[in-house]
Structure 1
């Protein structure tokens, strides 16, 4: 069993003195690399969320690790089936909420939600009422409000759009997401401007999560 001692990624981000879009790109790259490794080995995590993104150590730049495989399932290849209702409300994919067959793409949807939060500090789908929240998710009804999204590059939004694609067969895979310019050409594409408002919003988001 690997000992992971660095605490939650999201808590680490708010303690940093500098946090940019390029940093968010590096975070999601590590998450996607882990997800891709799982998927290549026929494992679907099913419960990707901030609480399950931990740092390997307290050292600066420590690797991001996936935790809590308690809801993980094994699938054969690109198999889709109804494996039962599992996950955390804000990160559930449309196909799970519609009780349709599902597989690896559910993890990519959750990664899209996580990436959205990494960039602005709040989730793409949110409602106190769970029925309304689920209706938003099933419709893929999210947007990029001003002013906080005005400073995010089009490439970042493009990757989110490909992850938060309602039709799972058209959703980007982990392997293809890792080839996206915003990740593999980060130095050229992603902004390196400090995102103080994201950090401030993320502090509030973290506090709300802890109250649940």
Structure 2
């Protein structure tokens, strides 16, 4: 209670200009991308509702609705809207909360709930009556574990990339071996390269 909530990482955000309704391009954090972005369709404001649905799911149980170490399988999950509410983490989450998430994670953007509609959803506007007030310590624990795994994966990928770049640069700087050096390394005789016309 009373903890500050900070919104960050707007590096890929697009400022809405006038009455523009559609954007194009492929950018974003993999687990938060909407199906229409992954399909490379024109997209609009519903992508933000999708991302908020992912965030709400994470806040309630501490792990994301879509997750796979393989990015292709992750994207397949997202495009199919393939997520569930596994036990026991979701057993104490109210039906209203799940209904809101379902409305936000609707694959068809035309049928996805809007921001105005979400603000009128019972789980939002009738929180005193329908939302659970239980302190979800298990959610905090799950979130810490997920973040630790995510950071570890990021560190491993960074190390692999740095190693690959170093190896590439080292190879580029290494002089090509002479025929004599190659022959010495393999035990073969180096070919005679003198000019026969000198005899």
Q: Is 1:187 aligned to 2:128, yes or no? A: yes
Q: Is 1:81 aligned to 2:23, yes or no? A: yes
In structure 1, the partner of 2:115 is 174
In structure 1, the partner of 2:187 is none
In structure 2, the partner of 1:157 is 98
- The structure-2 alpha-carbon separation of the partners of 1:78 and 1:177, relative to structure 1 and needing over 3 Å to count, comes to farther
- Backbone CA RMSD of aligned residues: 1.5
Secondary structure at the counterpart of residue 138 of structure 2: helix
- Work out which structure has the larger RCO, using CA pairs closer than 8 Å and 6 or more positions apart in sequence: 1
d(CA) in 1 for partners of 2:97, 2:124: 9
Higher strand share: 1
d(CA) in 2 for partners of 1:196, 1:203: 11
TM-score by length of structure 1 reads: 0.68
Residue 184 of structure 1 and its aligned partner are, at CA, apart by: 1.0
Higher helix share: 2
In structure 2, the partner of 1:203 is 144
Unaligned 5+ segments in structure 2 are 155-199
d(CA) in 1 for partners of 2:133, 2:10: 33
Which one has the largest radius of gyration? 2
Conserved? CA contact 1:78–1:104, under 8 Å: no
In structure 2, the partner of 1:138 is 79
Q: What count of residue pairs does the alignment treat as equivalent?
A: 152
2:50 maps to which of 105, 109, 118: 109
In structure 1, the partner of 2:197 is none
TM-score by length of structure 2 reads: 0.72
